[in-house]
Structures are given as C-alpha cells and as structure tokens.
Structure 1
Amino acid sequence: MDAERGPTSLSGLLARVRQAGQHEGSISLGAILETVGRRSFAPFLLLAGLITLAPLVGDIPGMPTLMASLVLLAGGQLLLGRRRIWLPRWLLERRISRERFHRLLGWLEHPAGWADRLLHQRLTALTRPPAHVVVAVVCLVIALAMPPMEFIPFSANGAGLALTLFGLALLADDGLFALAGYLLTGGTLAVVVFSLT
C-alpha cells in the first residue's frame, strides 16, 4: 500500500496509525499524519472525526477546536487544488501521551471492523470528483461550527460522527455514507442554531 495514497479501510487506517512515533513517549499529530500520507483528504477527516468522538481524547477541552483547525486547513487546500496537504508546525507538534493514544486505538478497533463490513462502493457519484468538493465544503462548515459546540453538550460528538462518515465515504468510495453524513450534519447544525438562539 502506497504511504502517500493512504489506507483504503478504517482498520487499515488504524493499523497504519499504530506505527506512528514508535520510539517516543508521546506522539505528535505530525507523526500520525505522516503514517497515513498527505495526498488524501479522507484520512484527515477520519482522524479529526474519530478523535472528536473518542471519550478518552475528544472530551479534552480545546480538542474539538484543534480538530476543526485540521479540517479547515486540509479542506481549504483541497478546494485550492493542492496535491499535498501542508500544515503549520504548531499543529503538527501537538502531542498525545503514548498510553492515551493506544487506549484510543484499542477503543476504536471493534467499531472499525464493524464499519469496514458495512462499507461498499456504491452511489459513487456522491464521492468522486466533482462531488468531493461538495463534501469538502460541508466539512468546512462543520469545522467552523465546532468551536461553539464545545459549550453545547454532545453537539461536538455529532460533528465528529459526521466527519467520520464523510471520511469513510471518501476512503471507500461509498456514497451511502456520504448521504448519512449530510443528514447528520443538517441535524447537528440545527441543534447548534437552536441552542444559540
């Protein structure tokens, strides 16, 4: 599997990510991203979504906003047509302890196998160019809404799940997951707007 193309299943993504920073006491976001490659938008969405969802990590204050920054920077560059996603040093150097990192991966392994069994190539018009641009725009909207979500209970989890669904959709060319992501995005944003008014 080409490191720059990235993995093609959630289990494959987790297996690749497990190799990050093997000899370090803590693991940087840069090390994680280098293991999955920086040519595909899907791993960025998946990592941001899964980290936001995870109870061991996503509940850390500021983490949803950090993941929103990752999506904004990656999605913006996708829309600009960049072939390799660039991220600033301050973001790449953010770290998580190795113990918490491996607990997160362990928590994700069972759901990953379940998700991979559901993924199939279908409704590909919703994931292939130019439809991937629509996915990127919707993900940018989600990312912009994530900072205030830190103050609205469970709304960040909805955003994390939506990003995860879009990431899986692009990873496996599964338009059904993209449709689910659009529906969840609409519901989550409606909750946020209602809560803020």
Structure 2
Amino acid sequence: MADPTSPPDPGPVTIGDIVARLERLSGRASVTLGDILASFGQASFVPALMLPALLVFSPLSGIPLFSSICGLTIAAVSAQMLLRRRHIWLPRMLRDRAVSGPRLRQALGTMARAGRWIDRNTGERLRLLTAQPMASLFTLVCFCAGLAMPFLELVPFSSSILGLAVLLIAAAFLTRDGLFALAGLAIFAVAPTIPLVLWMGLV
C-alpha cells in the first residue's frame, strides 16, 4: 500500500521514463498489457497512448497478432481521450494479453534508442497544435491509425510505421511540441501507400 504521506506519482514525463518502467516490469516471467498500463495509473492517458505505439514500433511487432492488440489498444485509449473520460478502461481481452519478460527485455534496446532520440529533439514548439481543438484532430488520427493496424497485420512494417506516427503525436502531447505532431501526421498520411508499393513490387 502506498504511503499516504508520500507525494503522488507525477507519471512519466519522457519516453525514457516509460522505458525505465518497462525495464522494471521485464524482470517478470510474463507481463500483461494490463500490468503495464497499471504501472502508469488509470488517468495517464498520454503514456497509455504512447506505450502500445512504442511496443508496436519495436521488434515485438513480429509476434503474431501483437500489432493488432496494440492497434486496438491505441484506438480504445484515443476514443476515451476524445470522449474526455477521466480514467482508462480496457476490455479484458486486451488487458490479459501477455508477452514474456525476456522477450520484452530484448525489445527494450530499440525502444530506448527511439526514446532517447525523441527526448533529445522535442521542445515547446507550435504549442497551439497540441491544445484544443487541434489536439482532438491529432487524437482522431491516432484512433484511425490504431483501427488500421489489425487490417495491416500481414503487411511488413506497416503497423510499425503507423505506430511511429502515434508515438510522435503522443510525444508531442507529452512535451507540447506541435512540430512532432505534424511529423506524426505526415507519417500517417504516407503509411497507406506502403501496401500499394509492396503490391506493385510483387507484380
């Protein structure tokens, strides 16, 4: 039980903080999505949006159906952000999805490198793009990206690219960096062309 005299957990303020919390959880034999989200608190919507994007951007995206689970989680969190809910709710089918601790540890290197780069390069720029009403537009982009991931499960790298778009937008919300939100939007706009390019290559 938490010490009532201790200050409340402010939540992660950088992607490095998120990776550090994942590293602590990776010592377990198995880690569920519910375990991971619970470590951030039920009101931590931006970290909860960033987390599945970070996971699907990592080598874990190669696990069958993992991209679909992350995509549905992104869509669920985004929808609740749009509805201005105060606490995150996820259905059991998403909360109970697990990845082995050793496999999570193997993916942490990729996530840490991406996190360090984003943490170094974000700053308070174009803040109006991360405030309402623009924030809702970018949240809607995340919702659409999440919904698209299950349909792109069999297309190599497509879910990871959509995950990168969501990751950049979530990082923009976390740091008030509208430039990163625009970068995420640009990547989201390009992502649908990937299946077409791959199909043309096969033809």
TM-score (norm 2): 0.86
Instruction: Give 1:117's match in structure 2, choosing from 114, 117, 120.
Output: 120
Q: Deviations over 1:91-120 (max 9, x none)?
A: 111111111111222332233222211010
Are the structure 2 counterparts of residues 12 and 187 from structure 1 closer, same or farther at C-alpha, using a change threshold of 3 Å?
Answer: same
AA in 2 matched with 1:170: F
- Among 18, 36, 44, the alignment partner of 1:13 is 18
* Contact 2:26/2:105 (<8 A) preserved: no
1:48–1:68 contact (8 Å) kept in structure 2 = yes
State the one-letter code of the partner of 1:14: V
What does the per-residue CA deviation read over 1:43-85, in whole Å, with 9 as the maximum and x for residues that have no partner?
1222121211112x11111111101110121111111111111
Does residue 1:28 correspond to 2:37, yes or no? no
Corresponding residue number in structure 1 for 2:107: 104
**Distance in 2 (alpha carbons) for counterparts of 1:187 and 1:85:** 30
Residue 47 of structure 2 aligns to a residue whose secondary structure is helix
Please tell me whether residue 51 in structure 1 is matched to residue 49 in structure 2: no
CA distance in 2, matches of 1:85, 1:49: 16
1:86 is matched with 89
Task: Provide structure 2 residue ranges, at least 5 long, that are not aligned to the other structure.
Answer: 1-6
What amino acid is the match of 2:179? L
Per-residue deviation, residues 10-36 of structure 1 (Å, max 9, x unmatched): 1011112323375x4211111111112
Deviations 1:151-194, CA, capped at 9 Å, x for gaps:
22221121111111111111111111000001010011243467
C-alpha distance in 2 between matches for 1:95 and 1:18: 15
1:1-197 map, 5 Å = 2-3=8-9, 5-20=10-25, 24-55=28-59, 57-192=60-195
- Let me know the Cα RMSD of the aligned residues: 2.2
CA 1:40–1:125 in 2, change beyond 3 Å: closer, same or farther? farther
TM-score (norm 1): 0.88
Bigger Rg, structure 1 or 2: 2
Q: Say whether the 8 Å CA contact 2:53–2:74 is kept in structure 1.
A: no
CA contact (8 A) 2:25 2:101 kept: no
